Amino acid sequence: MRAFLLTRHGGPEAMELRDVPEPRPAERQILVRVRAAGLNPVDYKTRAGKLRVIQRYTLPIVVGNELAGIVEARGPGVSRFQPGDRVFARVPKETLGAFAELTCLDEGVAAHMPAAIDFEAAAGVPLAGLTALQALRDELRVSPGQRLFIPGGAGGVGTFALQIASVLGAEVATTASPRGDALVRRLGAKVVVDYTKARFEDLLRDYDGAMDLVGGDTLARTFSVVRRGGTVVSIAGMPEPLTARKDLGRGAGLAALFWLISLGTRRRARRRGVRYRYLFMHPSGPDLDELARLIDARKLEVVIDRVFPFAEIADAFAYLEQGHAKGKVVVRIP
């Protein structure tokens, strides 16, 4: 079968399409015929070797973090799925494997696809959708009437975060360039700051919380938008000690490293009386069920920017890496 492999760490030349043997499902695994797979910044960060401190892979490895497809076979002990079921999944971080014609994954990370959408739209949901849901519901505990700031609302995660925050009852402010303005308004943003022209901290005050999707200087300035006692959750800034223990299940060594690299960010948060949390999302079949319910109830729209044929996956990567995607970038397989 055809698959897209990471052969070494580096630039675009470090990944290539190859023929590899078909995988066989182990206990509690399903074998999925992949019909579409979503691309994410984590794919090119992994390629560059930026995440080695957290996750090491034996190379070469079939990469790809999310998919939609049809169950082809199942290993012993699988109870939730049968051959022929249409499923979608954020695959386990330890194994990857979504950029392939066939892949095996634990049944616990998969869910039945929403009936209302096709494979290409479904493939764009898992990683970004779960990230938004877990940050807003579990970390920010968004409740009706709250005012929430979500800088960077037009990208893969942002298009889900704006809508899920609205479903949870929040009133949302976001940042976007003129290219993303109409999109973020359609997805529910009540206040939109053009980040290419204005500094959002001059315009926004006393928000109950924030979900930062941009990191760097944007995260640093986000603390001054949130009221004392509020929380800023970032998915793009510096991991902090709780990230190591709670999200990654790791010990004191990694927690100490994260303590060190997040020192400046945590100081800034403390000065403002704001809590800081960095979240690594986790794969979850039950959380995907929840997203599927929202999609089927037409409360959550999947925004797909571009679909590329599998043979042109390198072009899909180049497109995503420019950093201007409006919604998700997906490859159609085969």
Ligand X SMILES: NC(=O)c1ccc[n+]([C@@H]2O[C@H](COP(=O)([O-])OP(=O)(O)OC[C@H]3O[C@@H](n4cnc5c(N)ncnc54)[C@H](OP(=O)(O)O)[C@@H]3O)[C@@H](O)[C@H]2O)c1
Spatial distance between the Cα atoms of 124 and 122, rounded to a whole number of angstroms:
5
Spatial distance between the Cα atoms of 110 and 68, rounded to a whole number of angstroms:
9
Which single residue brings its beta carbon nearest to ligand X? Answer: 155
Applying the rule CB under 6 A, the residues between 244 and 283 that interact with ligand X are 279-281
CA distances from 166 to 143, 163, 286 (A): 10, 5, 21
Core vs surface per residue 251-260: b (16+ CB within 10 A) or e: eeebbeebbe
Applying the rule CB under 6 A, the residues between 109 and 138 that interact with ligand X are 127-128, 131
> Residue 310 Cβ, how far from ligand X at the closest point, in Å?
20
Asked if residue 236 binds ligand X (CB under 6 A), the reply is yes
Spatial distance between the Cα atoms of 156 and 161, rounded to a whole number of angstroms:
9
Spatial distance between the Cα atoms of 67 and 13, rounded to a whole number of angstroms:
23
Asked if residue 40 binds ligand X (CB under 6 A), the reply is yes
List 56, 270, 271, 324, residue binding ligand X (CB under 6 A): 324
Asked if residue 155 binds ligand X (CB under 6 A), the reply is yes
Spatial distance between the Cα atoms of 110 and 250, rounded to a whole number of angstroms:
24
Asked if residue 157 binds ligand X (CB under 6 A), the reply is yes
Indicate the residue among 81 and 200 with the shorter CB distance to ligand X: 200
Contact string (CB under 6 A) for ligand X, positions 167-206, x = contact? --------xxx-xx--------------x-----------
Indicate the residue among 57 and 319 with the shorter CB distance to ligand X: 319
> Residue 214 Cβ, how far from ligand X at the closest point, in Å?
5
Which range in 58-66, 109-117, 152-160, 261-269 contacts ligand X by CB under 6 A? 152-160
Q: Looking at the DSSP assignment, which residues form a beta bridge with residue 211? A: 233
Which range in 36-44, 73-81, 91-99, 290-298 contacts ligand X by CB under 6 A? 36-44
> Residue 103 Cβ, how far from ligand X at the closest point, in Å?
20
Contacts of 111 (CB under 8 A, 6+ apart): 87, 88, 89, 285, 286, 288, 289, 291, 292
Indicate the residue among 195 and 259 with the shorter CB distance to ligand X: 195
The verdict on whether omega for the bond into residue 286 sits within 30 degrees of 0, i.e. cis, is: no
What region does 141 belong to: left with phi over 0, alpha with psi -120 to 50, or beta?
left
Indicate the residue among 31 and 238 with the shorter CB distance to ligand X: 238
> Residue 282 Cβ, how far from ligand X at the closest point, in Å?
8
Indicate the residue among 125 and 157 with the shorter CB distance to ligand X: 157
Torsion of CA 35, 40, 45, 47, to 10 degrees: 20
Q: What are the φ and ψ backbone dihedral angles of 304, each rounded to 5 degrees?
A: -105, 125
List 71, 213, 233, 302, residue binding ligand X (CB under 6 A): 213
Applying the rule CB under 6 A, the residues between 45 and 104 that interact with ligand X are none
Length reported for the chain: 334
Q: Report helix, strand or coil for 270.
A: helix
List 140, 173, 214, 288, residue binding ligand X (CB under 6 A): 214
Would you tell me which residues interact with ligand X (CB under 6 A)?
40-42, 127-128, 131, 151-152, 154-158, 175-177, 179-180, 195, 213-214, 218, 235-236, 279-281, 320, 323-326
